[in-house]
């Protein structure tokens, strides 16, 4: 562009020089003037082109700036995204996040029921101090608790537990600031303990039956030992597979078997008795029949004797003597039946 313009300027200068030269020689040349005009026009064209060029350059610069700005923005966005991604990756995946979003509606009644259920394991019964001196102010900062180690708290539970009891809660003064005031308050019960109003140690359980009763917010070892898990372990120790094994069901089954066995024994006994009874009756019947037969025979013998004395000697024996016992026998059997009944 510069060269082009330079060429135009050179041409204008040359044409002008030629024109001036011709004018100084007093021979003005029209051609030289035309050349100057022509060169000047070309120069103007060139200048216009330069203007366009300059404008374009300005536009290009502006566009470059815009591009740079956009590039920077893109980079920023990408880096922000990258940071975000890193943060997201760094966050520990919570498995239960969908569950948290789930709503579990509950009624006031259910809430109260739950509160009642847990209260016996979260709130000590009145009078239980767990060795904490209730007459002093409650610890105001967690640091205070941290400062007293396990041994320290144990020592206070042994040494300073005397001030407990139901009356302690009422005197628990609201002392917001630890320090001087705290030490003052802690001295007060020790003074009162030495006073006349303090009960002797041997009378304290009479006032507060739960004087030294501990309170735990977790199941005690004894409770764990007597629970379902212990039963489970006991079954394993006895070599029984606990799966699908129900001790109650087992007990019922054993009882049922026992009952069945008893029933069977009872039935067998009844059957035996029945059989005995039948045999006895049979024997009695047979004995009666034998007796009857014997009696009949005796009667028959007696009748024959009497008939023989009535009948003529020629008619003795034969048919009538055989017919008579039949008739008697029949009657006797009737009699016999009635007796049995």
Partner 1 sequence: MASEPMSIESSAQDPPPVPDVTSQEPKYGGHTRFELELEFVQALGNPEYVNYLASRKFLQNPAFVAYLDYLQYWTRPPYLQYITYPTSCLKMLELLQVERFRKDILSPNLTHALVTEGMKAAVEWHRESLS
Residues that bind partner 1 (CB under 8 A): 96, 99-100, 104, 106, 110, 114, 117-118, 121-124, 128-132, 134, 137-139, 145, 149-150, 153-154, 157, 169, 172-175, 214-221, 224, 227-229, 231-233, 235-236, 242-249
Look at the block and give the residue holding tokens 């105001």.
Answer: 140
Q: Shortest gap between Cβ of 205 and partner 1 (angstroms)?
A: 19
Residue with Cβ nearer partner 1 (84 or 138): 138
Look at the block and give the residue holding tokens 């705290």.
Answer: 182
Q: Shortest gap between Cβ of 93 and partner 1 (angstroms)?
A: 13
DSSP per residue over 266-312, as a string?
HHHHHHHHHHHHHHHHHHHHHHHHHHHHHHHHHHHHHHHHHHHHHS-
Q: What is the largest CA-CA distance in the chain?
A: 229
Contact by Cβ (8 Å): 136, 189: yes
Both tokens of 250, joined, read: 């087992």
Look at the block and give the residue holding tokens 């009756």.
Answer: 281
Residue with Cβ nearer partner 1 (15 or 132): 132
CA distance 94 to 317: 125
Residue with Cβ nearer partner 1 (230 or 331): 230
Q: Shortest gap between Cβ of 168 and partner 1 (angstroms)?
A: 9
Angle 149-154-159 (CA atoms, 0-180°, nearest 5)?
Answer: 125
Residue with Cβ nearer partner 1 (69 or 172): 172
CA distance 317 to 311: 10
Q: Shortest gap between Cβ of 174 and partner 1 (angstroms)?
A: 5
Q: Shortest gap between Cβ of 285 and partner 1 (angstroms)?
A: 59
Q: Shortest gap between Cβ of 247 and partner 1 (angstroms)?
A: 5
Residue with Cβ nearer partner 1 (82 or 232): 232
Contact by Cβ (8 Å): 223, 229: no
Contact by Cβ (8 Å): 209, 128: no
Residue with Cβ nearer partner 1 (178 or 325): 178
Name every residue whose Cβ is closer than 8 Å to that of residue 140 and which is 6 or more positions away in sequence.
175, 176, 177, 178
Q: Shortest gap between Cβ of 202 and partner 1 (angstroms)?
A: 24
**Number of Cβ within a 10 Å radius of residue 172:** 13
Contact by Cβ (8 Å): 328, 296: yes
């Amino acid at each position: 562009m510069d060269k082009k313009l330079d060429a135009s300027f050179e041409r204008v200068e040359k044409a002008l020089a030629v024109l001036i030269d011709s004018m100084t020689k007093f021979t003005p040349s029209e051609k030289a003037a035309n050349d100057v005009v022509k060169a000047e026009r070309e120069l103007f064209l060139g200048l216009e082109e330069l203007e366009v060029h300059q404008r374009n350059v300005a536009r290009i610069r502006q566009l470059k700036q815009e591009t740079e700005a956009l590039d920077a923005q893109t980079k920023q966005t990408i880096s922000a995204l990258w940071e975000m991604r890193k943060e997201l990756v760094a966050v520990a995946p919570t498995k239960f996040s969908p569950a948290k979003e789930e709503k579990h509606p509950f009624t006031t009644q259910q809430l109260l029921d739950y509160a009642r259920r847990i209260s016996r394991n979260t709130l000590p019964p009145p009078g239980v101090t767990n060795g904490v001196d209730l007459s002093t102010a409650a610890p105001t900062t967690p640091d205070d608790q941290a400062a007293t180690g396990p041994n320290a708290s144990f020592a206070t539970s042994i040494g300073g537990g005397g001030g407990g009891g139901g009356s302690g809660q009422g005197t628990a003064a609201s002392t917001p600031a630890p320090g001087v005031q705290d030490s003052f308050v802690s001295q007060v019960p020790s003074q009162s303990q030495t006073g006349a109003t303090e009960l002797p140690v041997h009378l304290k359980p009479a006032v507060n039956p739960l004087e030294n009763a501990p309170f735990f917010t977790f199941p005690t070892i004894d409770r764990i030992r007597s629970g379902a898990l212990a039963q489970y372990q006991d079954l394993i120790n006895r070599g029984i597979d606990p799966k699908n094994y129900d001790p109650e069901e087992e007990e019922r089954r054993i009882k049922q078997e026992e009952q069945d066995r008893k029933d069977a024994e009872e039935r067998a006994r009844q059957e035996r008795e029945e059989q005995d009874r039948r045999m006895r009756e049979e024997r009695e019947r047979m004995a009666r029949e034998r007796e009857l037969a014997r009696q009949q025979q005796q009667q028959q013998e007696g009748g024959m004797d009497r008939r023989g004395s009535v009948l003529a000697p020629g008619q003795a024996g034969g048919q009538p003597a055989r017919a008579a016992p039949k008739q008697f026998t029949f009657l006797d059997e009737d009699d016999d039946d009635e007796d049995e009944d």
